[in-house]
Amino acid sequence: MYDHFATPEPDEAMKLALRRIEEARARGEGSNLDGIEFNEVVVNMGPQHPSTHGVLRLVVTLDGELVKDVIPVIGYLHRCKEKLAEKRTYYQYIPIVDRTEYLASINCEWAYVMAVEKLAGIEVPRRAEFIRVILGELMRIASHQVAVGTFTADLSPLGTAMAFYTFRDREKILDL
């Protein structure tokens, strides 16, 4: 029978954090404030933590409010792009490049297309270069609006209202 309240098995990052705590205790390291012993706590921060927005996980070892150790767990934004590219033509791969940077996707497309054009010896018209620069800058502004909006939303409930203004303005850029 499945126990919904059972403690899950620790993954490799958690095992590493716990091993580091045991090693520190074996060396005699620990906090002591006026005879009060503090135990170290291992906290999973992310990938669903509000400050990480789904792209990062940290296994943090805390001693009271002191951060003793941080183990980053990478791979939450991995999209398998290399494997997807194996069976596609150069043109078919362009939409997949969008997934690399989901806030300013045209900048990644631009870099990929420039590399393909250079390999193929294609000369791009000057007008096309101007259009690419303008679109790249607009996407950069739109990306910064998301950063400012999510930052204000993280600050306070009033910041959430401000975030909607930045998202509204970002949508105007994306609709161009």
Predicted local confidence at residue 127, as pLDDT = 97
Q: What is the pLDDT of residues 80-128, one digit of tens each?
A: 788 888 889 988 998 888 877 778 888 889 999 999 999 999 999 999 9
68 vs 59: CA distance, rounded Å: 11
Strand partners, 33: 36
Strand partners, 72: 58
Residue 29 has pLDDT above 80, yes or no: no
State percent of the chain over pLDDT 90: 23
- 132: pLDDT confidence band, cut at 50, 70 and 90? very high
166 vs 176: CA distance, rounded Å: 16
105 vs 143: CA distance, rounded Å: 9
Ranges of each domain in the chain: 12-73, 81-174
15 vs 73: CA distance, rounded Å: 13
Query: Can you give the pTM of this predicted structure?
Result: 0.59
Q: What is the pLDDT of residues 37-91, one digit of tens each?
A: 657 788 887 766 555 566 778 888 888 788 888 888 877 766 678 888 888 998 8
Largest interatomic CA distance in the chain = 74
Q: Which residues, other chains included, contact 134 with Cβ-Cβ below 8 Å and sequence gap of 6+?
A: none
12 vs 24: CA distance, rounded Å: 18
